[in-house]
């Protein structure tokens, strides 16, 4: 039977019907808010290319987390920016490094009120800006993996609730899982940046994290944007190596990858709505071309609809506030 028996507009008549029939909902407890902590005297320094986002000192980030919690956010992803960098990114695995000190401060003050996830990578800590150790002009995979595993352990010893390796080195999930288990931290989960593409959308993040490569690019380890089947291989390998949560990054340009991953794998699936997505929306709103709330909600809903269980987003605070107002 067709029209006039079937009228799909019946369930669009008003907000009550639309809410009843709504297939996709954004839940605050599925959102993660990225934050940047830096060794500096200032308590807060705004990121020019990401309006509304700042770098914070270890003391400043504690004040900001008060606001984050008041907004309703319960999970953060912490990135560190050290005062000094070197060829091997030693600040990444220093027990007194910027992330390690920040995590200790956060957990001491907030305890289990906030879930602290730490990004595990080298690019913010190396003088060359790449995600590992350079040998003969190339990022050495196996040497880098050893240091990444040390970094993850140092974060957990500082109190991190979860670690998130983002470097895209082969075998790093296995190495992280092994070192954590050997130390007795087998209950600490790993959120793997499993399908992380060499995207054009990371520019504002590199301003925030001060991690621009000093030569070349990251195409020899991050994924080719043209490849979809390879993403499934990357995800499958991370699962076999011990990942508890898998991730696709970026989100909006890779909704097809999210959808395929959701159909193929049963693990919790995260998506990172990256800095370029954030900056584009902010700029379009600033120009008066888009409505802020509607655009944020529609873009985030599309990520959820594609299959993401968890969304890492710079809009997390606003989304949680809107949820409290029942206007999602």
Distance CA 311, CA 328 (A): 15
Is residue 135 part of the annotated active site? The answer reads: no
Token pair of 282, please?
């902010």
Radius of gyration over every alpha carbon of the chain, rounded to an integer in angstroms? 20
Is residue 317 part of the annotated active site? The answer reads: no
Three-state secondary-structure class, residue 139: strand
Neighbours of 146 (CB within 10 A): 17
Give the residue carrying structure tokens 């809009």. Answer: 315
Taking CA 207 as the corner, what is the angle to CA 316 and CA 190, rounded to the nearest 5 degrees? 55
Which member of 38, 196, 304, 317 is catalytic? 196
Q: Are strands 115-120 and 75-81 parallel, antiparallel or unpaired?
A: parallel
Give the residue carrying structure tokens 């909006």. Answer: 252
Give the residue carrying structure tokens 């985030």. Answer: 300
Which member of 249, 282, 304, 317 is catalytic? 249
Give the residue carrying structure tokens 């190396």. Answer: 126
Instruction: Please report which residue ranges of 3-125 form alpha helices under DSSP H.
Output: 15-21, 58-71, 98-110
Q: Of 62, 66, 64, 44, give the one whose Cα is nearest residue 54.
A: 44
Are residues 165 and 193 in contact, defined by beta-carbon separation less than 8 angstroms? yes
Q: Supply the DSSP symbol for 122.
A: S
Distance CA 301, CA 23 (A): 10
Q: Supply the DSSP symbol for 10.
A: G
Give the active site residues: 196, 249
């Amino acid at each position: 039977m067709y029209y006039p028996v079937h009228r799909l507009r019946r369930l669009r008549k008003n907000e009550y019907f639309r809410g009843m029939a709504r297939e996709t909902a954004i839940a605050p407890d599925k959102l993660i808010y990225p934050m940047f902590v830096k060794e500096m005297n200032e308590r807060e320094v705004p990121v020019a290319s990401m309006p509304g986002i700042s770098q914070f000192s270890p003391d400043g980030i504690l004040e900001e987390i008060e606001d984050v919690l008041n907004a309703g956010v319960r999970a953060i992803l912490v990135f560190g920016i050290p005062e000094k960098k070197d060829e091997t990114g030693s600040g990444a695995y220093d027990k007194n490094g910027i992330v390690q000190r920040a995590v200790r401060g956060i957990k001491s003050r907030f305890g289990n009120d906030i879930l602290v996830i730490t990004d595990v990578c080298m690019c913010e800590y190396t003088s060359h800006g790449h995600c590992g150790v350079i040998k003969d002009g190339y990022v050495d995979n196996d040497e880098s993996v050893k240091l990444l595993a040390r970094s993850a352990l140092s974060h957990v010893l500082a109190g991190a609730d979860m670690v998130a390796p983002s470097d895209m080195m082969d075998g790093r999930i296995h190495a992280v899982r092994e070192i954590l288990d050997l130390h007795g931290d087998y209950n600490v989960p790993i959120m793997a940046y499993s399908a992380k593409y060499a995207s054009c959308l990371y520019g504002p993040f590199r301003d925030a994290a001060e991690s621009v490569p000093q030569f070349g690019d990251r195409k020899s380890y991050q994924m080719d944007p043209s490849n979809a089947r390879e993403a499934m291989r990357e995800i499958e390998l991370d699962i076999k190596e011990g990942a508890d949560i898998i991730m696709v990054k970026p989100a909006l340009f890779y909704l097809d990858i999210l959808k395929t991953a959701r159909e193929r794998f049963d693990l919790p699936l995260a998506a990172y709505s990256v800095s370029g997505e954030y900056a584009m929306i902010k700029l379009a709103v600033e120009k008066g071309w888009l409505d802020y709330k509607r655009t944020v909600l529609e873009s985030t809903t599309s990520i959820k609809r594609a299959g993401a269980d968890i969304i890492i987003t710079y809009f997390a605070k606003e989304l949680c506030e809107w949820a409290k107002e029942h206007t999602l």
